[in-house]
Amino acid sequence: MDDSARIIRASEVGQYAYCARAWWLGSVQGLPSSHQQEMTVGEAVHLRHGKGVRVSLALAWLAYAVLLLAVVVGVVWVVSVLVG
């Protein structure tokens, strides 16, 4: 693939904005970062955070479902008291 057709990712734009030289060394020259251990730790932290977000969203949906069930039970109870 020639350079004119290469896709530039948002992370590359951020890296370039932070340090154009680091972007050039990694993206153009193909040299690996000297911070591989920190990047591995950062990736693990991001994955753990993503899992926490997914769990939080699932618990929020569960809470809404329980709330809806409580409303339905309450309405059924009120109707049975009024009718019965």
Domain that holds residue 28: 1-34
Output the pTM of the full model: 0.57
Tokens 């993503």 — which residue? 50
Distance CA 26, CA 17 (A): 14
pLDDT digits (tens, 9 = 90+) for 5-61: 778 889 889 989 999 998 899 888 988 888 889 989 999 999 999 999 999 999 999
The percent of the chain in helix, strand and coil, each rounded to the nearest 5, is: 80, 0, 20
Q: What is the DSSP letter of 27?
A: I
End-to-end CA distance of the chain: 77
Whether residue 29 is found in the same domain as residue 11: yes
- Total number of domains constituting the chain: 2
Whether residue 29 is found in the same domain as residue 46: no
Whether residue 43 is found in the same domain as residue 30: no
